[in-house]
Amino acid sequence: MSENKAADGSAPRRLFVYNGGFLTQKRIRRILELSGFDIRIGLPKDPSDTVGVWGRSPTSPRGEKVAAHQDAPIVRMEDAFLRSVLPGRDGEPPLGLLIDDMGVHFDSTTPSRLEHILRHDPLDDTALLDRARDGIKRLRRMHLSKYNAFDPDTPAPEPGYVLVIDQTKGDASITYGGAISDSFREMLLDARLENPRARILIKTHPETVQGHRAGHFTKDDATDTITLVDDAISPHSLLEGATKVYAVSSQMGFEAIMAGHKPILYGQPFYAGWGLTDDRAPIDRRQRNLSRAQLFAAAMIVAPTWYDPYRDCLTNFEGAVGALEARTRAWREDHTGWSAQGMRLWKRSTLQKVFGAYRKMTFDKPASDGRKAMIWASKAGRDTDAVRVEDGFLRSRGLGAELIPPMSLVCDDLGIYYDPTRDSRMEYWINRSIDLENGALRRAEDLRGALIKNHLSKYNLTGEMPALPKGHRILVPGQVEDDASIKKGAGAVRTNADLLRAARTANPKAVIIYKPHPDVEAGLRSGDVPDEVLACADVIAHHADALTLLDHVQDVWTITSLLGFEALLRDVRVTCLGVPFYAGWGLTHDLSETPDRRFARPSLDQLTHAALIDYPRYFDPLTQQPAPVEVIVDRLSQGATGKVGRPLRLLAKAQGIFASYAHLWR
């Protein structure tokens, strides 16, 4: 079944099952329902009825007997090759299924739907193969695999080793993949004989490490030249350092192909027999030679049924990867726990939801028991080792000063994006963005288009449009003058009044539009401009919609305002009098000196990817789960952004009344 097999309006096909998991595991049941199946118990009777079984599991003979007796076709289900963060035995549902009406992908005794695709589909569509190449690069760049409970920064052993891949005992892919337990002994022996002077690393299966199932190798197999690797190391890092790869039927052999290896195989997995492996147990019916991109396209794009847990619908490969990226990033950053400092009381509930899903956060306590330290960026001293946290750039519908919970947050272990006096993780991502694959750039381009189409910004406030005189229009956005971005990133011009004067002096004939900052207009922060300086502006856009203004101006003059970045996204020229994160990369006219660290010259889409995809984390208020940015764009455009409780609303009003004393709670 193809990736486009979502419901087409036809009547559901009755699927009779004899395994309780089909009834109790909600995600599996939902994927099947969306794929056009009506799950039933009982006996198939109509010609269109089907029997559903899970792969070659111990319960599958029940369904097979019923199907034979009732002369009903069988559909077999298995997890897709990008499954989850944690193994299924830890209770995490899959992101996709292989729904196979011919066989099972790991059963080489009979062709499967995946094998049929590999043998007979042309797999020559340029767009499909481009997606496959981009997918290979994306999975390697993000260190994504079938299971993802590992830290990519965990160092792999010194390169130059032979990698032998273990599997769990009794795994169906061994039994039905033309191998036996002794195949693992044969594999290790050959690895030693064929590489007599090499170090040999045996990669232990994740479920063995976690104590779920035993593997074929134990510490007794270790010698001076053989080492068991049971640390949670990225498979991509291990494959990068290997000179040869030996496997029986592990999916890691497939990943080895994508990493440029020609793995030596002792079983008959789905990826054997296509000219990309050294097959010690060949399959005669597989005679076609495929490229890596063709193999990946079939296994990852065409064959699986992928699920979108945010929109409750079927999706494509890229949608599934986006969901897995978000969940994996949250686990990798949060599973050891956080100890947070400098967090206002009203923020703690949201922070607990975002960062405390795997281990509950603690507040105002020293980091201990493996926890990492976190601090709100404005509270951080220069020498702190704590990770700095701030609001992201697609935050909410409403102001932070009004206590609206954020939908995006940034975590920076180097500095913080608005402080150009030191390195930041934002600069790291922008410098690295020049190496992004084409698919990542298309994603950034699509994101930028969606932001423009849906009229989205950081706070997504609405407002009236003032009458604008004709001429060359320059938008001058006001800022909060005691904001950290001004304190850290401003140059000689540090106030809204001086900014307005500078813009008028440099552009005496232009139409100057001054837009006060929403927090200042709301009376929550400082930044008022004297009336005599306001006279420098032709229009004072009180409570105006900033994004609509961007549609009607040719330039933006700013100190460090995020509105300058939002102008860049819309191809509006930007002049910076300070050093915001988007200055110094060749995309803005900079009137202040920018750091030499900013050496890359990214395109607008590369900058977009770094700032809106790589740097922030996003949290979906509806599913209460980490999410990719595209989900947040949907939520913001639909107004589905969660609710603010009555206590927070009252506190926000109190803050407005006592704005002059804001330093007491900030």
Checking if the pLDDT of 8 tops 60, the result is: no
- Do 469 and 411 lie in one domain? The reply is no
Question: Which helix (H) or strand (E) covers residue 363, if one does?
Answer: strand 362-363
Domain-embedded: residue 485: yes
Domain count, the chain: 3
Are residue 470 and residue 507 in the same domain, yes or no? Answer: yes
Query: Residues near 628 by Cβ (< 8 Å), separated by ≥ 6?
Result: 322, 323, 325, 326, 618
Last residue within a domain, chosen from 243, 272, 287: 287
Give the pLDDT confidence of 306-332 residue by residue, as tens digits.
999 999 999 999 999 999 999 999 999
Tell whether 106 is covered by a domain: no
pLDDT digits (tens, 9 = 90+) for 431-440: 999 999 999 9
CATH code at 206? 3.40.50
Same domain, 249 and 393: no
Tell me how many helices (H) and strands (E) the chain has: 24, 26
Query: Are residues 380 and 234 part of one domain?
Result: no
User: With 90 as the cut, is the pLDDT of residue 9 above it?
Assistant: no
- Domain contains 93: no
Is the model more confident about 512 or about 402?
512
Using the 8-state DSSP alphabet, how is residue 435 labeled? G
Q: 528 and 566 share a domain?
A: yes
Would you say the pTM of this structure is higher than 0.75? yes
Tokens in use for 418?
Answer: 């608005």
What are the distances in angstroms from CA 597 to CA 286, 382, 384, 435, 478? Answer: 53, 18, 21, 17, 28
Q: Does residue 119 fall inside a structural domain?
A: no
Ramachandran class of 571: left when φ > 0, alpha when ψ lies in -120 to 50, beta otherwise = left
- What mean pLDDT comes out for the span 499-517? 95
Find residue 376's DSSP bridge partners: 389
The answer to whether 344 touches 378, Cβ cutoff 8 Å, is: no
Domain with 547 in it: 463-620
Domain boundary among 272, 287, 302: 287
Whether residue 101 lies inside any domain: the answer is no
pLDDT-above-70 percentage for the chain: 93
Of the candidate ranges 183-187, 532-536, 577-581, the one whose mean pLDDT is the lowest? 532-536
How do residues 604-626 score in pLDDT, each as one tens digit? 999 999 999 999 999 999 999 99
Radius of gyration of the chain (CA): 28
Answer whether residue 477 is part of any domain: yes
Query: Residue 516: inside a domain, yes or no?
Result: yes
Q: Considering the domain boundaries, does residue 371 fall inside one?
A: yes
